[in-house]
Amino acid sequence: MTEETPGFEEHQPQPPPQQSDATPGTPEEAEPQADAAQDKDAAQPAETDRAAGLTAQLDQARSALNERTVDLQRLQAEYQNYRRRVERDRIAVREIAVVNLLSELLPVLDDIGRAREHGELVGGFKSVAESLETVVAKMGLQQYGKEGEPFDPTIHEALMHSYAPDVTETTCVTILQPGYRIGERTIRPARVAVAEPQPGAQTVKPTEESGEAQAAEQGEDKENGGPEEG
């Protein structure tokens, strides 16, 4: 038997502690972190490219919208012009139709006027004539031409001409046939006899006549020796 020395125990060697497969800070753990950083850096340009693509698409959509808006405005303006043109043509066609109809009735209206002047517009004929005149008046027909009004070559047609001492300008002295118009449009000019002032005749104003009379009286006083002194 071996003797054991007191106070001393036999120390047996202990096995070293087992280390884990991946210790923090080891190359095995650093590699995934580097890969994640690289993926993040690679994702940033992709997001930038995606945003740029969306911006370009938005610009294209806005450009297309502006073009369609301009086209719509042009079409709307053309439609409004078309409507106005159609309405104007419709009114013009209506006016032409009314003028043609009333032009055919003018001889009848002339006969009614002559019958009225001769006192022959009586009985049922008078009622029919007045109804016809009312209808044509509602359609806008207006009769014009009166004795004594100044002659206007745009609405009067002179068939007779004479001179008169009591007129100061060319005047309608006789209405041979009345004129008719619709609004400002003349259907038939009034046919009239006109009179002009006498050739060489001068119209003297009342003030001038009184001045000439006073001058004549003063001349007579001078020839008689003037007024007698008291």
Q: Is the pLDDT of residue 217 over 80?
A: no
* Cβ–Cβ under 8 Å, residues 200 and 165: no
The dihedral through the CA atoms of 73, 79, 83, 84 has a sign that is: positive
For the stretch 136-172, pLDDT in tens is: 999 999 999 999 999 999 999 999 999 988 889 999 9
Instruction: Give pLDDT tens digits for 55-105.
Output: 888 888 998 999 999 999 999 999 999 999 999 999 989 989 999 999 999
Q: What is the pLDDT of residues 5-52, one digit of tens each?
A: 454 444 555 555 554 454 445 555 555 565 655 666 656 777 887 888
* Closest to 98 measured CA to CA, from 41, 45, 137: 137
pTM: 0.54
